[in-house]
Amino acid sequence: MTTVIIEGTKKNGETFRKEVKKEIEMLSLSYNQLSSVDLAPLAKCPELQRLSLSSNQLLSVNLSPLVQCQELRRIWLDSPTTILWGSANLASDSLPEGLREYQDKIQEAHQRHLAKEACNE
């Protein structure tokens, strides 16, 4: 059994840490008072189908690692959460089903990411 560690920060500044199996299909990180979370380790969880991030304090979240989760069917996010896309690549036609619901927001985030990179050159 191999695992990945999901890390983040809670609203009160405490560190959040959760170990999950790479074979996980459903992951709920809801109701943890998260103000930030790094989803990059989930790129190593190809069988992930459902991810719940709702009922937290997330201002923004980078969803780009989830493009590796081709079985992803559904993501639950609170509506005020800003979607970030921290990758230069975005192939809209290859987004997992769970990300397609947020496709417009992902494309906007991708454009912001590219503009930021252009300013840094």
Per-residue pLDDT, 88: 60
Per-residue pLDDT, 119: 78
pLDDT, mean of residues 44-58 = 97
Q: How far apart are CA 78 and CA 108, in angstroms?
A: 18
The domain ranges of the chain are 3-120
Give per-residue pLDDT as tens, 79-104: 889 998 877 667 767 789 998 888 88
Looking at domain 3-120, its CATH architecture is Alpha-Beta Horseshoe (3.80)
Mean pLDDT score of the chain: 90
The pTM for the full model equals: 0.86
Per-residue pLDDT, 92: 67
Residue 4 β-bridge partners: 20
pLDDT at 55 over 70: yes
pLDDT at 35 over 70: yes
